[in-house]
Amino acid sequence: MAKFYITTPLYYLNGNPHIGHASATIAADVISRWHRMRGDDVFFVTGSDEHGEKNQKAAEQLKKDPQAYVDGLVETWKKAWGSLDISYDDFIRTSEKRHEAAVPDFLARLKKAGDIYKGFYEGWYCVHDETFITDTQLRDGKCPECGRAVTRVKEESYFFKLGRYQDLLLGLYAKNPSFLSPSYRADEVKNRVRGGLKDLSITRPSLVWGIPFPGDSKHTVYVWVEALLGYMTVLGWPGKGRFGEFWPADVHLVGKEINWFHTVIWPAMLMSADIPIPRKVFAHGWWTVDGKKMSKSVGNVIDPIKISKAYGVDAFRYFLIREKPLGEDGDFSEAALKARINGELVADLGNLVYRVLSLAERFDGNIEGTPELDKHLDIKRIDALMLELDLFGALNEIWAFVREANRYVNEKEPWKLQGDALGNVLYNLLEACRVISIMIGPFMPSTSAKMRSQLGVGQGYLKDCRFGKFDGKPKKGSYLFTKIEN
């Protein structure tokens, strides 16, 4: 069995999950489920980044202990992922002992490599993004990512010699081009690295809510240093655990706003610590809402739980993958969601399955014949697209086959046929539905299970996505999806 290790970001807990968090986590879940369907040994990790000044201040405002504050938020996120049918294997919290205990070991490795020294940091700091910002990065005097006001700080700090790794990083990008994915985001990172790397401040003084810097308790480890280690500590690093099985990670799926930390700071620290580099960092795009940037002040932040309750979890999962390529930005609107449900889930897939099962349930002959529809199915191409993380392209290919099956129904007019002729058409349509039920499983797991139940077949794997003998027991059930009326 091939090993496959994928992670979402360790989400910073400063509120409830929104559509951007849900989209990334669902995408990682789809990828994980596809690899399991291929027969791979998969480890899928998500989690929470919990330390830092922002959460410390939020807890103080609520007159709560920071640990109690993040404990409450974590439960909300875990319930959200449960309701969206996320099949993660582990959830790592940066406030867990298994994580905190490993951080000093990692820093000791950086120090042994001669890459840590003490000095003073003077510059801008964004509390919201927990990010140090240079003068050239400022946009109208504000944080380039969140647009909030920044704070000028001058403080004692320990530094990591990031500048030492400029050439090594450029060598990494040249040797492994897919490390920077999608490819159109690579030049931005490369050009910034070529422009020169300044050493990184890796501690904050007098910050209570964080991991103490080993050997100097007056300093707390910078969140963007210790949080990244969660991808390894969840595997049991530096102990035995499962680190030897699954590291290096095959895919870090991250938002484009944190691509720098994962493609520059993270690999540089791993090089210093003499630990293998992850194989790929894939930066996904953002969602706007009805053409506008999501904002709490505007009041257009989409709650994925409310939307999925209103329209169905599988319909929501399908929409997020079907509406835009993973690496690109896209726009969410309820009108677009309704259109996808009515036009594709109801009219295409639901109508196909209901028509086929209605005919098959009444047929008392032999359901067998010659494969005719399978020539329209290119499972190797679909699999290749999934391995390239082109979920959008793969789902387009799957849906092309769904529509081809509907075309076959209209062309053959099975309601006019009898005997072996009808048996042959039903064979092709039932096998098509069985294969479709397998292929949509990673995207819409509940719908896949319902289809298999109505077809009377067991769970299939990618190797089963070919026409053979149909040995199911079809029984028409309820419609897979219900049309959304205005």
pLDDT at 137: 82
Handedness of CA 115, 117, 119, 121 (dihedral sign): positive
Residue 3 covered by a domain: no
Q: State the Cα–Cα distance between residues 90 and 73, nearest whole angstrom.
A: 17
Q: Could you tell me if residue 416 is inside a domain? A: yes
Q: How far is CA 216 from CA 52, 61, 156, in A?
A: 18, 28, 12
Residue 144: per-residue pLDDT: 83
The span from the CA of 89 to the CA of 293, in Å, is 32
Instruction: Show the tokens assigned to 134.
Output: 């240079």
Give the pLDDT score at 65. 94
Residue 483 maps to a domain? no
Any domain includes 414 = yes
Residue 189 and residue 263 in contact, taking contact as beta carbons nearer than 8 Å = yes
10-residue stretch averages of pLDDT, the chain, 486 residues long: 96 91 98 98 97 89 94 96 98 97 98 97 80 81 84 90 98 98 97 96 89 94 95 95 96 96 98 98 95 80 94 98 97 96 98 97 94 97 98 98 98 96 98 98 98 96 97 94 91
pLDDT of residue 123: 80
CATH number of the domain that residue 423 is part of: 1.10.730.10
Sheet holding 90-93, edge to edge: 90-93, 41-49, 3-12, 251-255, 281-284, 180-181
In a domain, 411, yes or no: yes
- Cα(167)–Cα(228) distance, rounded to whole angstroms? 22
Burial degree of 136 (CB within 10 A; 0-12, 13-18, 19+): exposed
Is residue 391 a part of any domain in this protein?
Answer: yes
| Angle at which helices 419-439 and 391-412 cross, to 10° | 170
Q: How many domains does the chain have?
A: 1
- Residue 296: per-residue pLDDT: 75
| Overall pTM surpassing 0.75 (yes/no) | yes
Residue 248 burial (10 A CB sphere; 0-12, 13-18, 19+):
middle
Q: What confidence score (pLDDT) does residue 128 get?
A: 75
On the 0-12 / 13-18 / 19+ scale of CB atoms within 10 A, 155 is: middle
Q: Is 83 among the domain residues?
A: no
The parent domain of residue 406 ranges over 334-464
With CA atoms as reference, report the closest residue to 22 among 257, 299, 340, 301: 301
CA distance 416 to 181: 52
Residue 435: inside a domain, yes or no? yes
